[in-house]
């Protein structure tokens, strides 16, 4: 016999769930001190999954709060020229993101349920805030004098309830005899009754039908990356821009390069990818982009080899090194110290070669002007 499912009615605060983050940033039960338990009710996988998703939504809001209160980032609404009524998204930026003359760090997470400030929801819930969020990157970047921009590439639409459309039955407007019309209506009602009964059995708590309203110029991670580049990163004063892009974020960065190649090359000093899923062939990245990536990017991939060990690549793009873990979602956290070292070295290398580069560039510009 099918077990009755309890209501899909969950708390909307961590306290309501009886969980809190301890001083180590681990999620623990307030009374028992135990980690989060997924199988709260046995044999009710769907209910447990919905409970986990409800907690995930609270975690997303909690991380947003940490970005503002703990990291002192500002929440910036996009599109920048949005009307009052249209769907909007947002990104986070440090006070000096656009004015810092030296360095700017841009963080892009992967695909799925994660939102700005997160690498992996699973890590936040089951491990800790340090490994699952971008907060350690943000804090260290700010300590080292970087401005910071945190992208929100999965916030592509808002969901609203579908309006109920009354479909006029064909019998309403026909010239059919009343008796025939009544018989048709009766059959139609019985069919609906049977369908509703089946639906109630199959899905005891039918959720509201929702529709998606896409956010202008931010309807996909790739669109979002280009939009934030055009309206924020390209406008920033920073001489050196650095990207950290995880998983699908790497693909979004390569797409940005394809669309804004000259701009990216002139402004970006180095790119740290973590288990990036980009593919230079499928994305049709040209030869000049592949050459630039070989010189300026590094991909820390999941591997059982020690951190920074060179890993062979099948594709002719950027160097691949081990992230020191074979778990995809942990690659950003495990390569954290190496990424900052990589950025420092790239910055120093650029500074030491700046004068001859500038001379060559100015000579080339003069030549082109002629």
End-to-end CA distance of the chain: 84
The CA distance from 208 to 187, in Å, is 26
Whether 139 and 275 have beta carbons less than 8 Å apart is answered as no
Of 128, 126, 121, 118, the closest CA to residue 26 belongs to 128
Provide the 3-class DSSP secondary structure of residue 200: helix
Token code pair at residue 325: 């873990």
Please identify which of the residues 236, 247, 302, 338 carries the catalytic annotation. Answer: 247
Active site residue 247: yes
Rg of the chain, C-alpha, whole Å: 26
CA angle 101, 106, 107 (to 5 degrees): 155
The CA distance from 122 to 158, in Å, is 23
Q: Give one DSSP letter per residue of 282-333, joined into a string.
A: TTT--HHHHHHHHHHEEEEE--SSPTT-EE--SSSSS-EEE-S-S-GGGHHH
Instruction: Give the residue numbers marked as catalytic.
Output: 247
């Amino acid at each position: 016999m099918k077990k009755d499912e309890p209501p899909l009615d969950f708390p909307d605060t961590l306290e309501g769930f009886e969980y809190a983050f301890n001083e180590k940033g681990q999620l623990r039960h307030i009374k028992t001190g135990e980690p989060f338990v997924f199988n709260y009710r046995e044999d009710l996988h769907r209910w447990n999954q919905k409970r986990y998703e409800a907690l995930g939504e609270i975690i997303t809001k909690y991380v947003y709060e940490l970005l503002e209160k703990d990291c002192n980032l500002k929440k910036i609404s996009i599109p920048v020229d949005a009307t009052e009524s249209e769907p909007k998204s947002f990104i986070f930026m440090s006070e000096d993101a656009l004015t810092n003359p030296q360095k700017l760090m841009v963080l892009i997470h992967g695909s799925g349920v994660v939102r700005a400030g997160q690498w992996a929801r699973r890590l936040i819930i089951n491990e800790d805030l340090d490994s699952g969020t971008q907060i350690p990157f943000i804090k260290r970047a700010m300590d080292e004098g970087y401005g910071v921009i945190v992208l929100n590439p999965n916030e592509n639409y808002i969901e609203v309830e579908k309006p109920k459309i009354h479909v006029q039955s064909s019998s309403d407007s026909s010239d059919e005899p009343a008796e025939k019309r009544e018989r048709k209506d009766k059959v139609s009602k019985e069919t609906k009754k049977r369908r509703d009964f089946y639906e109630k059995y199959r899905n005891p708590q039918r959720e509201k039908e929702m529709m998606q309203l896409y956010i202008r110029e931010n309807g996909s991670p790739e669109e979002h990356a280009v939009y934030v580049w055009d309206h924020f990163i390209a406008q920033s004063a920073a001489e050196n821009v650095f990207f950290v892009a995880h998983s699908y974020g790497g693909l979004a960065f390569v797409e940005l390069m394809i669309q804004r190649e000259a701009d990216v090359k002139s402004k970006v000093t180095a790119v740290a990818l973590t288990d990036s899923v980009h593919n230079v062939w499928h994305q049709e990245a040209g030869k000049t982009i592949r050459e630039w990536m070989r010189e300026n990017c590094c991909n820390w991939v999941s591997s059982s080899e020690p951190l920074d060990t060179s890993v062979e690549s099948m594709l002719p793009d950027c160097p691949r090194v081990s992230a020191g873990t074979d778990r995809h979602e942990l690659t950003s956290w495990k390569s954290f110290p190496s990424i900052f070292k990589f950025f420092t070295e790239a910055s120093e290398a650029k500074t030491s070669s700046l004068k001859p580069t500038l001379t060559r560039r100015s000579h080339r510009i003069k030549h082109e002007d002629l």
